[in-house]
Amino acid sequence: MIGDLGAEDATELAQWVARGDVTPTELLDAALAATAKRNPAINAVVLIQEETARRTIANGLPRGPFRGVPFLLKDLGAEATDFPSNNGSRLFANTTYDRNSAIFDRMAATGVVTFGRTTSPEGGIGAATESAVYSGPTRNPWNLDHTSGGSSGGAGAAVAAGIVAFAHGSDGGGSVRIPASSCGLFGFKSTRARLPDGPYAGEGWAGMAIDGFLTRSVRDTATMLDACAGPDLGAPYVAPPLTRSHADAITRPPRRLRVMLCDTTFTGTPIHAEVQAAVLNAAKLLEDLGHHVTPGLPKADVPMMMQAWTDIVGIGTALSVRSALKGRDPETLVEGVSRGAMAYAETLHPTRYLQAVGEIHDFGRQMAHAFHDTQTDIILSATLAEPPALVGRFAHTTTDYPAYRMGPDGIFPYSPFCAVFNASGQPAASLPLGQSSTGLPIGIHLAAPFGMDETLIALCAELERAAPWAARRAAMAS
């Protein structure tokens, strides 16, 4: 099985294939065996297309950097003709596509062998993955009582369980970084528009959503980002060009950076003591590496941003669901939170969407000043305000969508950091540097100014070298 082979990451598996130590078919067989053995416990891998994967190998794989490495797509986005999707919902179950998305074609060109999809919450609006279409929650390989996160929760669980070495995800409010934190993995959210959205979408959630990857190593993410970066034809806007590739950036440490340390939320609310301790340990590590760490809080209107985020996503959910219902009863096809989002959207004035987008843009300027005015290069915080939640805490059964997102027991108090950088468009990452007293992963969050992806990923690689995490895995994965 993939997790039993002893490889550090997908890059090493590709090196084995290139040397002839193992064949793509043997790796696929190992991934399928791991799926059969481990997936029943975690419920992460769905819509398996074994014959498609074997046909891909038989037809000849591209000579890309991950030639022959098994791979999984998130069951939301990454549209592909050979891979039907449920999009996390009974309403969209078994959707097929007449052409590939740009991101899928670029991932495929790396030589990966895609054999299925991974679970996601309906609409991608949850910090846990518990969709009815999959007949049960997705569980965390580190502790089955806890969530693997969301919305790329299936991807995080599949990698953490050793089913695959890396997987596709996407991030509109932390949906790569939350599972990375929950599952002890590396997750990187690029600058807005760094990766393509088309042709099925012009932009996701007013530009807040972007694709990404759940990986065991910084180098796997860097290589896949280089393979996928750049706009697709007709993209409405593009990210600032990189001065060097991600892969080149991680070969040497960045200059010594000025780091703002936030060991509370960005509004000053205390976080879980063990999570705070992990943040302070990361700050000490950065200081030991010669970086300049100063306590602080970004001066930005986070509550305004969270309200605007909630409204934009609620309206987007309503649009998506209503266009697909075609007169059918939502009670039997749509989960509670999505029905609540539809009802909530109906209460908003028709001009609210554009107003909310304007507020998001204003917030992006505030966050740009938060870096510029304080001469900050990196903002350091936790990824989540507490260790991974128990399964069921963020179930989609409630119809109170605003409370689900913003209430005192909602997702934003649990995940108060990630969506900030979806709204600002700035690059951010979760690194698996911490662990709770009960053995659950704790992610450390780093963010950089808009367009400074190379600086951020170089710092991530430096921290990976200083505090290696590859050997720290869930028992299920070895």
Q: Catalytic residues, which ones?
A: 74, 151, 175
How far apart, in whole angstroms, are the C-alpha atoms of residue 460 and residue 464?
A: 6
Is the Cβ–Cβ distance between 184 and 474 less than 8 Å? yes
Angle, in degrees to the nearest 10, between helices 153-160 and 24-42: 110
- C-alpha atoms less than 13 angstroms from C-alpha of 226 in its C-beta half-sphere: 19
Q: Which residue(s) pair with 260 in the sheet?
A: 294, 379
- CA torsion 192→207→377→304, rounded to 10°? 180
CA distances from 239 to 223, 246, 294 (A): 18, 14, 29
Helix then strand count (H, E) for the chain reads 17, 13
Report the distance separating Cα 139 and Cα 437, nearest Å.
Answer: 19
**Are the CB atoms for 441 and 326 separated by under 8 Å?**
no
For 288-419, where are the E strands, in sequence order? 292-295, 378-382
- Please name the helix (run of DSSP H) or strand (run of DSSP E) that holds residue 58, with its range, or none: helix 50-58
Q: Is the distance from CB of 34 to CB of 163 less than 8 angstroms?
A: yes
- Residue 401: half-sphere exposure toward Cβ, Cα within 13 Å: 26
Name the residue with tokens 């991680």.
250
Burial of 105 (0-12, 13-18, 19+ CB in 10 A): middle
Give every CB contact of residue 15 below 8 A, 6+ residues apart in sequence.
none
Instruction: Tell me which amino acid residue 118 is.
Output: T
Contact 232, 202 (CB under 8 A): no
CA–CA distances in Å: residue 310 to residues 190, 301, 320, 468:
21, 15, 15, 37
